[in-house]
Chains A and B, each alone.
Chain A
């Protein structure tokens, strides 16, 4: 029998026991809905976490520091041979910066300028952390949903407020845009060598260039607030010292801010040649981060990238999604038993009809395929209905969660996410599970003895 004829006969058979078949289809739909809801929840949460991380601007960045700083930040212990070595750790200076910029797939290398200081706004002082933002940060997604605008130029006296600082300054954060604030900071100024008392030398290793000195001069800089951002574009190395007042990187560098490491560098006699605490290496794409990181390590520097952390996160979500899939599939398995039950009942009811079909020329294969089509049709319809129900459940979860978050004065999120691949997968799984469930009844119907079936009352 041709497929079209089979389909027409199957549709007629399904219509005949409409209540029972509808309930079976509904069972499948509930199974698929639970599968879709679970999967969309898992994927939605994963996307939420990934988006938050990618908007931090950390995904395409490698943070470089010296090996000694790495250990100070809790990095891996130095091998014994290295500990015994008298070789000093490699300096992170302008030479190193240029070398890092030459690495394949590196877009930009810039220092991490971040310092705690005070700002004056409408006559009141506020303590905060200032962070320099590179121009390339504009493209990393962190500023996509900001209010206001990004810096008009690399040396514009402009500031973007992170929402936490903005809330400290005013309840109406939007009204801050266009207003001015004053940044108060300590500028480092080098002293002439004559004004510095030489440090006594105790060993040959102290044959470093003569140490200079510096003085700290209080300064003020007026900045125009041009934007407010809710994300964390300047989370910083390992989340340390989150930047709340964001200014162009060039401006931040020009301020010649006194850093905590300046004292150490001065004692080492490095005042003439600036070294950096950390450098941020911006990579062309997140895929290239691992290779760039390896190259930098080979150069003798310590590195950190968010990819290290996200690998564990991905592993967690893979396990989490698998568990959700298993629980979702349980409902579908139960629903598939409903198909077996419905079709076995149908065989009992249609025993004589099967006998008639065989007497008129239906082959075993035709009878088997007829039951397969009926099972497949229920699976397909149940799959489509289930996807719709799953989507509704996902929406309901999102609405419920957002209602709770709103009461907590937290921003809205989308915890459920349905993709086309998920729709296709759910309908496909439903279809094939239904076909599998229809195998036993179909085979049983095909094996019916036509003579006995025709005698059946």
Chain B
């Protein structure tokens, strides 16, 4: 997958995100600087409320930082218009969520095709792109099924296919195994590892599962109370 001149797919410089909650000011992300190399598999580890999902949303361009800078392939997301951020989400990153977030009214095929519609990919090209994505997650036989007709693992694989269909360079996963049993969760992690290896795709995964993070990620970044606590290769953290 595409790298950059300095080798970083994504990096942050002293990024902060604050929320006003009544009279109180919540520092969800507080002065965090990280850098993820192209093709790297990084796990953002931390307990609930540590700010890891907020940081992931900032990397995805779903949210804007209060201060600091976020670079994706050296393009500063903090200075982008909402239209440019939408383009970033559509073309540069793919996202998977703990709750799968498939649209229940659509079939698997329609769910996977949705990002292609948003990216205005030519209609003639779409069937092949959808097939390629679902074959990568081994769901080609379930194209006409709706999410309610799929198991949890299949739904997460479908969400993964949807995240991959626009061929992004960065995959952002927010607790991708959080709603799955351990066997299915391991299968999803294998799939992510395979995608990282075969496509050289940069993956940033939010998790609170230290064991899985250590087993599958190249590097683990730990957060607590919005701050970066530790950063190191997974073997050292484990």
Residues in B whose Cβ lies below 8 Å from that of A2? 117, 120
Give every chain A residue within 8 A of B238 (Cβ-Cβ).
Answer: none
Expressed in whole angstroms, the minimum distance between the Cβ of B220 and any Cβ of chain A is 24
A389 to chain B, nearest CB (A): 31
Evaluate contact between A5 and B83: CB separation under 8 angstroms: no
Q: Measured between alpha carbons, how far is A333 from B89 in the docked complex, in Å?
A: 39
**Complex Cα spacing A449 to B106, Å:** 23
B60 lies within 8 A of chain A by Cβ: yes
Task: Write out the residue numbers on chain A whose beta carbons fall within 8 Å of the beta carbon of B193.
Answer: none
User: Once the chains bind, are B105 and A359 in contact (CB under 8 Å)?
Assistant: no
What 0/1 readout, one digit per residue, does chain B (207-234) give for beta carbons within 8 Å of chain A? 0000000000000000000000000000
Nearest-neighbour CB distance to chain B for A443, whole angstroms, equals: 13
Minimal beta-carbon separation of A19 from chain B (angstroms): 16
Q: Known contacts being A451-B57, A451-B62, A451-B63, is A362 close to B101, with CB within 8 Å?
A: no
Contact indicator A361/B63 (Cβ below 8 Å): no
Q: Tell whether, in the assembled complex, residue B166 and residue A361 are in contact, meaning their CB atoms are under 8 Å apart.
A: yes
B105 touches A16 (CB 8 A): yes
Q: When chains A and B are docked, how far (Å) is the Cα of A364 from the Cα of B82?
A: 7
B82 touches A360 (CB 8 A): no
Q: Is B180 an interface residue (CB 8 A)?
A: no
Hey, what's the 0/1 contact readout for B160-192 against A, CB within 8 Å counting as 1?
Answer: 001000100000000000000000000000000
A359 touches B62 (CB 8 A): yes
* Interchain CB contact under 8 A, B162 and A360: yes
Please indicate the chain B residues that have their CB under 8 angstroms from the CB of A360 in the complex. 89-90, 95, 114-115, 118, 162
State whether A359 touches B60 (Cβ < 8 A).
Answer: yes
- Which residues from A are CB-within-8-Å of B118? 1, 357, 360-362, 366
A273 to chain B, nearest CB (A): 90
Contacts of A451 in B (CB 8 A): 57, 62-63
A366 in complex: contacting residue of B63, B86, B103, CB < 8 Å: B86
Q: How many A-B residue pairs lie within 8 Å, measured between CB atoms?
A: 66
B101–A5 touching, CB < 8 Å? no
Given A1-B117, A1-B118, A451-B57: A359 in contact with B101 (beta carbons within 8 A): yes
Docked pose: A180 CA to B101 CA in angstroms: 93
Contact B90 A361 (CB under 8 A): yes
Q: CB distance B115 to A363 under 8 Å? A: no
Q: For the complex, give the distance between the alpha carbons of A361 and B114 in Å.
A: 10
Shortest distance between the CB of B15 and any CB in chain A (Å): 15
- Give the A-binding residues of B (Cβ under 8 A): 57, 60, 62-63, 82-83, 86-87, 89-91, 95, 97, 101, 103, 105-106, 114-115, 117-120, 123, 162, 166
For the complex with contacts A16-B105, A358-B86, A450-B62, 16 further pairs of A-B residues with Cβ separation under 8 Å are A1-B120, A5-B120, A9-B117, A12-B105, A357-B114, A359-B60, A359-B97, A360-B89, A360-B114, A360-B118, A361-B86, A361-B87, A361-B91, A361-B118, A364-B86, A454-B97
Which 5 A-B pairs have CB atoms at the shortest separation, nearest pair first? Answer: A361-B90, A363-B86, A5-B117, A361-B118, A361-B89
